[in-house]
A and B are shown apart, each in its own frame.
Chain A
């Protein structure tokens, strides 16, 4: 299901990405790349810095630890030196039976005085726990069995070595002023000489614990974390919270730390991550452990972290806007250009609407498109005009055709008249025919005056009257005011022809054809009325449609032709309308603009321009 959704989602994204605009693509890709690289840089910088900082704090700790270890080491060696010189210079060659003990005590006092700050006491103890000599106090505390003390038991383990005890309260000498000393006992096995007999003994140097404590306290007061000291088994020798640890109030990882080799470690203790540096003191196996909780280090990094975050967000913001801005600058003209082209898509070739702006390339593009549109438009106009002319001439040519039947019939009538020696009639007929042709040709012009057109119609009627032996009557009435206005030639004659052929020609009664030309509302109307049987409506509908050329009789020039020609020459409001009522007659009305010839010529020139 989830997979399905995922696929759907992917598809959606894919589809959307197909529709993506240039701006989106540019700004998105720029932003993604910039953000990725920014984040990467920031991350790399941050981790690098953290590592360096962590390393330097570890280095610092190591330095601190080295310093302490050096101090502690020299302190311990100093104490070992005290023990050595006491043993080899004083005790070894002293016969305890003959030489006065004071000599030893005196030597001890000297040594004690020289190392007063670091020593609490020096004492020589015999194998059975008897105090032989001691400095500075030689009064032994009552009821204390020296053989039971920890250092006493340890010393005999490896006689060739020095032994360092755990810190403890010195419990050998009488204390005054309620004063008790914490000491670390440095003991060694010695040989005591009693008149040539050797006995074992112990030389005890009680080191002042506060010397060690001071070394560490000084360090612990400054810097992060703390430093503590353990022996090789992990027992705490010094810890800033020593007492709290013994009371169970604080915890320390000392036992674990005893197993660490020298070096630095990360450990998790009591739910806290800490950096630990360990260093072992020579000879004793004591370990100095420096602990810095990571949270302490983290405090320093917090600032950096926030700072990095700010830098990143600001930069991302800048990048985002910058990219949007740049892409907008780049793509805006393109988009405007694109939008302006939608009209052209719709077929409106308005060159003025095309956007030209933006960068050089886009301006160039805009200009090119514009010139293309202009050219295209010119071409189209030319083509339209050409077509119109072509049609005009076609239609005109069509109109100019004289029905051969008509010509034959007319000439046949003339021949008949001549045979019957009706010359005046023949002359009249030929004259009419001649006039008919003259107007038909009319020097090739298609526009003639109404007067001429009416004359043409009269001639035609005259001929037809002869042919139809006056079976119909024709009345022509023209408003003299419009006689000089123009009309397209050969538009009345076909209507009359139609009226004769289809309406009055076959009538049994006398047919009447009325031709009337008048002006109304600034336009010219020419009506051709007959009193024929009328045209059925279904036929009427098709009359003005192309190709319905009248069959049979007639000049073969359809009413459509007339209408078309008027339309072509003038506006479409003008043209031919036909109304008809069965058994009543038909009226064909031509509507023309009222124009004189000059006016028309001027208009036609204007149009051409």
Chain B
């Protein structure tokens, strides 16, 4: 009788042991790590401008079992549409979402109320001083550095700061520009156009006002407009631009643009993904990494700039 009890106890203990170890086994021996899905939601009508960020994000994701998808939310959809897109990402299985919002403030508030708020960061948009998860180029410094470049170039003394309706973020860059220019002997005027008609007008103004010897295109639409009207442009007018598209690089290469303030979306994408994967803070990863460059024609083919301006993959 005693022997039987011992045997039963023994088998029970063995069973217990095997169950415990099976549990350990299934938990600790996963061959493949969980695939992390990261979605980028950008406020734009198409994704053409976001190639660089995509390359950066994919580079960081490679070898890390991570899938990066880019989704655009049309500008017309407004903040609610953007929130819908963000929510949809999560319902479709995304672990994290990075948002380049066209309506930072509103979307920010809307997201804050959601349960997934902690899995969302804002990229390229937002407020530099915000303590909330957001990663963006220091637009103010960018504007200031561009202004400094203009000052150093000593080519232009009467500037037109020309912008379209496009970007709210340009405000910071404009502030930077203004602050730096105010300290110099360069005169400037700010002309923000509400629509393309006004923009065209302003471009013509460049020529006919006869006052300006330089123009700063504050956004993509403006520099495109200037490029399309370059035949009207006087040679004496130096063109400076803030943009990060391949078109602008071409403008720079073809001497239409004298200097370009180029935001390095590649790094933004890379840092964002690494932040999600490693959990390191954005500022820590981004430390010491320039997120924008002021490039002119001389430096664009330098070893450093070459790699920033021209994507390896095409």
Q: Decide if A and B touch, CB cutoff 8 A.
A: yes
Would B253 and A325 count as touching, CB distance under 8 A?
no
Residues of A within 8 A of B62 (CB): 220, 226, 240-241
A295 to chain B: closest CB distance in Å?
A: 11
Among the stretches B70-78, B88-96, B187-195, B267-275, the one at the interface with A is B267-275
Is residue A246 contacting chain B, with contact meaning CB distance below 8 A?
Answer: yes
Residues of A within 8 A of B301 (CB): 168-169, 171
Residues of A within 8 A of B313 (CB): 210, 213
- The residue from A180, A247, A248, A321 contacting B310, defined by CB atoms under 8 A apart: A180
**Cα distance A171–B249 when bound, in Å?**
13
Among the stretches B12-20, B108-116, B163-171, B202-210, the one at the interface with A is B12-20
- The residue from A179, A209, A318 contacting B14, defined by CB atoms under 8 A apart: A318
Is residue A338 contacting chain B, with contact meaning CB distance below 8 A?
Answer: no
Segment 293-335 of A: residues with Cβ below 8 Å from B? 299-300, 302-303, 306-307, 309-310, 313-314, 317-318, 321, 325, 328
Q: Mark A428-458, 1 if CB is under 8 A from B, else 0.
A: 0000000000000000000000000000000
Q: Mark B29-71, 1 if CB is under 8 A from A, else 0.
A: 1010100000000000000000000011001101100000000
Given A210-B313, A213-B312, A244-B56, are A310 and B28 also a contact pair (CB < 8 Å)? no
**Cα distance A182–B311 when bound, in Å?**
8
Would B59 and A169 count as touching, CB distance under 8 A?
no
- The residue from A178, A249, A317, A325 contacting B289, defined by CB atoms under 8 A apart: A249
**Cα distance A317–B313 when bound, in Å?**
59
Would A299 and B33 count as touching, CB distance under 8 A?
yes
Segment 2-27 of B: residues with Cβ below 8 Å from A? 6-7, 10, 13-14, 17-18, 21-22, 24-25
Would B250 and A243 count as touching, CB distance under 8 A?
no
Residues of B within 8 A of A213 (CB): 312-313
- The residue from B6, B246, B274, B312 contacting A242, defined by CB atoms under 8 A apart: B312
Would B290 and A307 count as touching, CB distance under 8 A?
no
Residues of B within 8 A of A178 (CB): 246-247, 249-250
Q: Mark A168-208, 1 if CB is under 8 A from B, else 0.
A: 11010001001111100000000000000000000000000
Residues of A within 8 A of B314 (CB): 179-182, 210
Segment 257-314 of B: residues with Cβ below 8 Å from A? 264, 266-267, 270-271, 274, 285, 288-290, 301, 303-304, 306-314
**Cα distance A325–B4 when bound, in Å?**
11
Given A179-B314, A249-B271, A306-B29, are A243 and B56 also a contact pair (CB < 8 Å)? yes
Residues of B within 8 A of A314 (CB): 14, 17-18, 21
For B21, B24, B311, which residue has the most chain A Cβ atoms within 10 angstroms?
A: B21
Would A310 and B246 count as touching, CB distance under 8 A?
no
**Cα distance A246–B304 when bound, in Å?**
7
Residues of A within 8 A of B13 (CB): 317, 321
Q: Mark B232-270, 1 if CB is under 8 A from A, else 0.
A: 000000000000001101100101000000001011001
Would A241 and B28 count as touching, CB distance under 8 A?
no
Residues of B within 8 A of A180 (CB): 246, 249, 253, 310, 314
Is residue A234 contacting chain B, with contact meaning CB distance below 8 A?
Answer: no
A251 to chain B: closest CB distance in Å?
A: 12
Is residue A225 contacting chain B, with contact meaning CB distance below 8 A?
Answer: yes
Would A244 and B31 count as touching, CB distance under 8 A?
no
Given A178-B246, A325-B10, are A243 and B29 also a contact pair (CB < 8 Å)? no
* Chain A: interface residue total (CB-CB under 8 A): 42
Residues of A within 8 A of B246 (CB): 178, 180
For B6, B10, B24, B290, which residue has the most chain A Cβ atoms within 10 angstroms?
A: B10
Given A249-B285, A313-B17, A314-B17, are A241 and B25 also a contact pair (CB < 8 Å)? no
Segment 396-413 of A: residues with Cβ below 8 Å from B? none
B269 to chain A: closest CB distance in Å?
A: 10
Residues of A within 8 A of B60 (CB): 241, 244, 249
Would B267 and A249 count as touching, CB distance under 8 A?
yes
Residues of B within 8 A of A317 (CB): 13-14, 17
Given A178-B250, A241-B59, A243-B307, are A310 and B31 also a contact pair (CB < 8 Å)? no
**Cα distance A168–B289 when bound, in Å?**
22
Would B290 and A247 count as touching, CB distance under 8 A?
yes
Would B63 and A247 count as touching, CB distance under 8 A?
no
A312 to chain B: closest CB distance in Å?
A: 10
**Cα distance A240–B62 when bound, in Å?**
8
Would A249 and B274 count as touching, CB distance under 8 A?
yes
Residues of A within 8 A of B267 (CB): 244, 247, 249
A305 to chain B: closest CB distance in Å?
A: 8
For B21, B311, B312, which residue has the most chain A Cβ atoms within 10 angstroms?
A: B312
**Cα distance A328–B247 when bound, in Å?**
88
Given A209-B312, A246-B304, are A321 and B28 also a contact pair (CB < 8 Å)? no
Given A178-B246, A243-B266, A246-B307, are A310 and B25 also a contact pair (CB < 8 Å)? yes
Residues of B within 8 A of A249 (CB): 60, 267, 270-271, 274, 285, 289
A213 to chain B: closest CB distance in Å?
A: 6
**Cα distance A381–B25 when bound, in Å?**
71
**Cα distance A243–B22 when bound, in Å?**
45
A353 to chain B: closest CB distance in Å?
A: 20
Residues of B within 8 A of A220 (CB): 62-63
Would B21 and A244 count as touching, CB distance under 8 A?
no
Would A307 and B29 count as touching, CB distance under 8 A?
yes
A154 to chain B: closest CB distance in Å?
A: 15
Given A225-B63, A240-B62, A303-B29, are A248 and B289 also a contact pair (CB < 8 Å)? yes
**Cα distance A244–B57 when bound, in Å?**
10
A35 to chain B: closest CB distance in Å?
A: 15
**Cα distance A178–B264 when bound, in Å?**
18
Would B308 and A247 count as touching, CB distance under 8 A?
yes
A272 to chain B: closest CB distance in Å?
A: 12
Residues of A within 8 A of B311 (CB): 243
Q: Mark A247-278, 1 if CB is under 8 A from B, else 0.
A: 11110000000000000000000000000000
Would B312 and A310 count as touching, CB distance under 8 A?
no
Residues of B within 8 A of A210 (CB): 312-314
Would A302 and B56 count as touching, CB distance under 8 A?
no
Would A310 and B24 count as touching, CB distance under 8 A?
yes
Residues of A within 8 A of B270 (CB): 244, 247, 249-250
Residues of A within 8 A of B249 (CB): 178, 180
A180 to chain B: closest CB distance in Å?
A: 5
Other than the known A247-B290, A303-B29, what 10 A-B pairs have Cβ atoms closer than 8 Å? Answer: A178-B246, A178-B247, A180-B253, A213-B313, A244-B56, A247-B267, A249-B267, A299-B31, A306-B24, A309-B24
16 contacts between A and B (CB under 8 A): A179-B314, A210-B313, A213-B313, A243-B56, A244-B267, A244-B270, A247-B266, A247-B289, A249-B274, A303-B29, A310-B21, A313-B17, A314-B17, A321-B14, A325-B7, A328-B6
Closest 4 CB pairs of A and B: A303-B29, A178-B250, A310-B21, A246-B307
